[in-house]
Chains A and B, each alone.
Chain A
């Protein structure tokens, strides 16, 4: 049959081991349609696209269930190359451009127009000469189609990032037989006017009959450009609707969804925290790859648990890493009224900050060392604790470590066991113990429950609450799990595109959180 749809993905289920990351998801797209794909991180968007592109990661993990049809015919997409040959293209979020090449060379990369000569007839097409003129004229046409007047011979290096995005698009539309084009967060790096131009280019491309899958977290752009919207959550299809039949608020609510249960029940504070200011952060820029911050400003109140949430890659992880001196940072930060020098990890520790890193195997722990040495390590280095003159005080370390093992319920054979042999949850507890050994007045903790089991999760979160309530420790917890932030935080700041989009109370609605994560600033939020 000649299909109404150019691409149909029917009942796609994908398991990674015992975990289903996609459960019976279907996606149908008509020619010339702009179809937005929405969802939080981990909702299954990228897995669905990996299935569409036949990525090795899908095939090497047992394939998937369900069918993919192109133009009504069942299609087996074996590899990204195969996808390209079948007319499926991708405009990448990270630019797939070679800076030292001209725009033409980039647009025509591995699809060069060549002229044969005697030698190439002998030794194969690899030795054919490049026909720069024809290549340039193709590139010119593609650039004109995306509204770029830039010289097609210019080098890509040094061009504004906005231009690079359009060059990526020009490359895709230069490919003949393009049927489905995926835009992965195309506007993330663009200015407002560039983003508007991009949306109009998308409409022009769609008008030629190419179907567009538009992945973004910016709901206003979805409303402006998309014809149809599919929302995924936790690997399941929430709904597919017409843009005309919905609104931003509804979409935001559908993306977030109410989690079924809180991780732990914490007694709410009767009155809001009224302490002074523990930390002020002004215009903080952090150069952490994939988690850059572009001017974060926020105050942390003394004695509160402040949550920092947001989608992955938006910069929430960059905040503690920048302040603790692990990545290059710029801006003004004060701690209890004193200015805090940036890019000085040791200085940050000595001033009473402690950080439990999201990367516990990389940054957090010395995996071959014992539990007790890991617990004592930072305190020895930063404060000279656990020392007897120039030597380490093994007895004191042992006693302290044993206290911590009991208090945090670290499951181990002895304090001398190497941490590399512990489970993820117990490693995380060692990280917390180490931070506590610094006697911090102020604790950063990033993704504290990532990859650990439910029991350990509860214990870690309960420990944080106890430290906060009993010792008055100010805690900033960064987490991708909104439910977890809601269960223990006094306030939750949502970071989007490297800035604080909004600060919300934990009981704020899903819609409010969804909007903030999309970079909207809701009316009447508890902002500053």
Chain B
């Protein structure tokens, strides 16, 4: 039994090596950056709120065996088309956001269908294939925004370059455009109170569930004690002071945005309990077996990419409206979406063939904690903030490369069949 535990522990360490490395790095960076902890915490929550949705859009394709879907970049482009039209038509506020999301839906489904069909022709190469598709689509996007919009499809002067063709390089989302923080500002609640309320809800819920014998005693104890401890920690003055504005700003969270993210978590978890989810998993683990049992493998894969593309588009809208963005870099806003989201989910402990909501959230959290602190940390360490800038790029690509290597190594290990182990035993027995 002991043996088994230590084996589980080692395999846990192996699977989450990157995650632990990032935890250590984050702590180190936060320490050397010299940044105020209140600032770090507020930035972290802000960026998590901005990014979590996009990162979670990667989960379904991973489970369906298609690797990191870098072509979520194309979903982001669909969202940008939606935003552009919304701005041009002058729809503001929540209706504007809903309009942009509504335009993104059919576009994302169509683009997702095309991407999925293409990826079905390059099975085994989906990760690199989707990356290249993203670059390819970038070209088409430039054409669309430089010549077709404003040229062939008339747009309002608000978004086009006056006296020339094409869409402006930067589009403002604030002020009279009225899209910036349209969702975020619906309802903001102090972070601390939210934590207390959530802890109380978990505690009450676990008591009720236990009383109705829906959960085991261990589960009940874990939940209730966990809730109490979390609430306790955030009640401690040194922790509470980080958030309550006693130095710096009081940290508030945009409730509606978080509810949307929560809904996506629920969506991902729910779909896995349906027949479709079972198909995603089956196709992801063995296309041969799935096919033999009558599952339409290609259609299932296309469905996964279609869902992912639409979700990524909506994620991009959440990103754009979030506090601190304000403007929309027409020709560049989508470029790093796939790269950063892919790196983030891998940092959270996901791999090319496994991913969960939790991994996406933890990954986004850790990835951004390094992002926030990299510049200050590097100027403190090297006297030069630019190093931190390089470090970000190095980090994103490095994590992806590392994940690909670890995955290849693991599959190579698995390929060594049991036969050789059997042979070794057999040989040993004979001597």
- Nearest B-chain residue to A108, judged by Cβ: B278
Q: Is B216 an interface residue (CB 8 A)?
A: no
Q: Is B423 an interface residue (CB 8 A)?
A: yes
CB-based contact A330/B423 at 8 Å: yes
CB-based contact A285/B278 at 8 Å: no
Collect the chain A residues with CB atoms within 8 Å of residue B278's CB.
105, 109, 112, 130
Which one, B271, B286, B426, contacts A285 given CB within 8 A?
B426
CB-based contact B282/A330 at 8 Å: no
CB-based contact B420/A285 at 8 Å: yes
- Nearest A-chain residue to B277, judged by Cβ: A130
B263-282 vs A: 1/0 string, CB under 8 Å?
00000000101111111011
Which one, B274, B295, B416, B424, contacts A127 given CB within 8 A?
B274
CB-based contact A129/B273 at 8 Å: yes
CB-based contact A96/B427 at 8 Å: no
Q: Is A331 an interface residue (CB 8 A)?
A: yes
Which one, A80, A92, A110, contacts B282 given CB within 8 A?
A110
Query: Smallest CB–CB gap between A160 and chain B, Å?
Result: 10
Query: Smallest CB–CB gap between A323 and chain B, Å?
Result: 15
CB-based contact B282/A109 at 8 Å: yes
Q: Is A257 an interface residue (CB 8 A)?
A: no
Q: With the chains together, A285 CA to B424 CA distance in Å?
A: 9
Q: With the chains together, A340 CA to B298 CA distance in Å?
A: 48
Q: Is B417 an interface residue (CB 8 A)?
A: yes
Total contacting residues, chain B, CB less than 8 A: 29
Q: With the chains together, A128 CA to B277 CA distance in Å?
A: 10
**Interface positions of B from 393 to 431, Cβ below 8 Å from A:** 416-417, 419-420, 422-424, 426-427, 430
Collect the chain A residues with CB atoms within 8 Å of residue B293's CB.
96, 109-111
Given the contacts A96-B288, A287-B416, A130 and B274 also touching, CB distance less than 8 Å: yes
Q: With the chains together, A81 CA to B293 CA distance in Å?
A: 8
Interface on chain B toward A: helix, strand, loop, or mixed SS?
A: helix
Given the contacts A283-B427, A285-B423, A101 and B292 also touching, CB distance less than 8 Å: no
Total contacting residues, chain A, CB less than 8 A: 32
Given the contacts A96-B288, A127-B276, A130-B273, A110 and B294 also touching, CB distance less than 8 Å: yes
Collect the chain B residues with CB atoms within 8 Å of residue A109's CB.
278, 282, 289-290, 293, 295
- Nearest B-chain residue to A160, judged by Cβ: B418
Q: With the chains together, A303 CA to B419 CA distance in Å?
A: 33
CB-based contact B426/A295 at 8 Å: yes
CB-based contact B286/A328 at 8 Å: no
CB-based contact B294/A98 at 8 Å: no
CB-based contact A287/B282 at 8 Å: no
Collect the chain B residues with CB atoms within 8 Å of residue A427's CB.
none
Enumerate chain A interface residues (CB-CB to B < 8 A): 80-81, 84, 92, 96-101, 105, 109-112, 114, 120, 125-130, 283, 285, 287, 292, 294-295, 328, 330-331
Enumerate chain B interface residues (CB-CB to A < 8 A): 271, 273-279, 281-282, 285-286, 288-290, 292-295, 416-417, 419-420, 422-424, 426-427, 430
What 5 A-B pairs come out closest when comparing CB atoms?
A: A285-B423, A110-B293, A126-B276, A109-B293, A330-B423
Q: Can you list 25 A-B contacts with CB-CB less than 8 angstroms, sorted by A residue number?
A: A80-B292, A80-B294, A84-B294, A96-B288, A96-B289, A98-B281, A98-B282, A101-B281, A105-B278, A109-B293, A109-B295, A110-B293, A112-B275, A114-B274, A114-B275, A126-B275, A126-B276, A127-B276, A130-B274, A285-B422, A294-B419, A295-B426, A328-B420, A330-B420, A331-B423
Task: List 17 extra interface pairs beyond A80-B294, A126-B276, CB under 8 A.
Answer: A98-B285, A101-B282, A110-B290, A110-B294, A125-B275, A126-B275, A126-B279, A127-B271, A127-B275, A130-B273, A283-B427, A283-B430, A285-B423, A285-B427, A287-B416, A330-B427, A331-B427
